[in-house]
A and B are shown apart, each in its own frame.
Chain A
Amino acid sequence: MTLLKTENLYKAFGKLEVTRDVNISVAKGERHVIIGPNGAGKTSLVHQLTGQLQPTSGRVLFKNLDITNATPDQICQMGIGRTFQKNNLFRSLTVQENVRLAVQAKQGGWYECLRGVGIRTAQLERANHILEQIQLTHDLHRPVSSLSYGEQRQLEIAIAMAAEPQLLLLDEPTSGMSLAETDRMIELLRSLPSSLALLMIEHDMKVVFSLADTITVMYYGEVLASGTPQDIQSNSRVREVYLGGKH
């Protein structure tokens, strides 16, 4: 079943074309990785899928609904979670509160905010459960700023998971991580429920080939190739521009 589909997605900033007729699709439970050199338009694409950027033309369909003009909060409520390339946390709050705030967004209509404390207990339980799943449990009441960089990357994912997404967009989850941290992140991503679809931007080939069902290669805003890891590895154009040579 196709969860997410883009139709001729196109985005230009003046004369700079960052997304050129991109057609990709993600199925339920699929692990789809987007690779490509810096400036290939990967993050711009993710921004268009989650409403942070408006495409110039083309459509984004999620569960056959047109979400091209939806706002980020609406898209999140529909079931697409995302993380950011640079850690994008609530820096003055504790680890637990970071996740609870995201749980609260999902659990109640906004008027629920006016209700009492009982609802808070349920939210905290849910937050703790997610943090356990993401293996961030040793001190929930620490401020975010005291976490290591790798732990902050994990928390990024915990916050996105709180929205109970069916599709999770991960923008370079292992960027800036040490080798050991990267291995832990691979384990963590593997442990996510298999019903959850992942659309991931990644540079680290070890991560790419250990997780991907499908790889899409982007180059100057275009999809150069898309297919199984074997297809991509044997694709001569991909080898030429990306995998081969200095890489």
Chain B
Amino acid sequence: MKFLRPAVFVALIALLGLAPLAGDYTLGIVAEILIYGIFAMSLGLLIGFTGLMSFGHAAFFGISTYTVIALGVHLGISGWWGMAAGICVSALAAAFVGLFCIRVSGIPFLMLTMAFSQLLFSVALKWRNVTGGTDGLTGFVRPTLFGMSLDDAVMRYAVVAVGFVLVLSFLWLLVRSPLGSIFIGIRDNEQRMRAIGYPVQRFKFLAFTIAGTLAGVGGALYAFFNAFVSTDILHWALSGDAIIMVVLGGSATVFGPAVGAAIFLLLKNIVSSHNEYWMLWIGATFILSVMFLRQGVWGFLVSFAQSAVGKRK
């Protein structure tokens, strides 16, 4: 196990480095996978490591995208400042929503997170001056980096890839830190955590806020990627997609949800170009994964690799 993580990391960096050779179309798909990977990994921190089943995670992804694009379109603020603002807005929104949601757990928690995200969805729908309603907001000018515009597919990809690696590394460090061990303890046995002296609510709040902030990182990158935003991004269906990604890839590992995002988006891209019922195939894959790969695809691969190494010893 010890060498598995560095090996995965090196392989991932190599793959990310080679991706631009595959051409702009493929690069676009990879960038989208990485963005949704960030989003899914941030939700994985809640579902897999803290035991909080949030059904409103799209709120923190979407509010960041809206912030970046609305600031750019209405006020002409550069995307980089917009990104900083978007991530802060996500953090504040997650802290605010978290304050209410962590008071309950289980199904009520799930419903409450969903209710808050639907609230945000309705605001985006009605506040047309700012959000453009269902038509969305167009005319966002992507920022530049080192004198090169992010309109260039490779530049855009590079920024997204760096963001992905940073979030992945942060989460890897977090779950191994003392704070991460507290989250895992809460997932395992909340009652006992209280009995050994942890103010559990405070740590749930912290986990919720961190996860929302990281989703905001993904949302801001999505603004750069798409340069357009509409209310779809706040719809509960996106929160549902994220849960499918987490479960499909495996919630017990940090990286698993990103693998889930890759499978989800590849299925969507490949199947939808051949037949319009791509949701059916994702649904079927999801059911099979839940029935036969309880740890998710990535979780299965990791435990397979571990047992292979174990046998050789």
Q: What residues of chain A have their CB less than 8 Å away from a CB belonging to chain B?
A: 50-52, 71-74, 76-77, 81-82, 84, 88-93, 97, 100-102, 104-106, 108, 110, 112-115, 119-120, 159-160, 162-163
Contact = CB atoms under 8 A, between A and B. Distances in A.
A88 B178 contact: no
A101 B195 CA distance: 12
Interface string B177-218: 111011011001101111111111011000000000000000
Contact of B178 (A50, A77, A91, A115): A115
Contacts of B199: 71, 73-74, 110
B191 A73 contact: no
A110 B203 CA distance: 9
B189 A50 contact: no
Contacts, number: 85
A112 B38 CA distance: 27
A195 to B, nearest CB: 20
A105 B197 contact: yes
Given A101-B185, A104-B178, A114-B179, A71 B194 contact: yes
Contacts of A82: 195
Interface of B: 177-179, 181-182, 184-185, 188-189, 191-200, 202-203
21 contacts: A52-B191, A73-B195, A73-B197, A73-B198, A73-B200, A74-B199, A76-B196, A88-B192, A101-B196, A104-B181, A105-B193, A105-B197, A105-B198, A110-B199, A110-B203, A113-B178, A114-B178, A114-B179, A115-B178, A119-B178, A120-B178
B196 A163 contact: yes
A81 B202 CA distance: 21
B184 A92 contact: yes
A88 B189 CA distance: 8
A76 B198 CA distance: 9
Given A113-B178, A113-B182, A114-B179, A88 B191 contact: yes
Given A90-B185, A93-B184, A112 B195 contact: no
Contacts of B198: 73, 105, 110
A119 to B, nearest CB: 7
Given A91-B189, A93-B185, A114-B179, 18 more contacts: A50-B195, A72-B194, A73-B195, A73-B198, A76-B194, A76-B195, A77-B197, A81-B196, A84-B195, A88-B189, A91-B188, A92-B188, A102-B197, A105-B198, A108-B178, A110-B198, A110-B199, A159-B192
Given A88-B191, A89-B189, A93-B188, A106 B197 contact: yes
Contacts of A115: 178
Nearest to A51: B194
Contacts of A162: 196
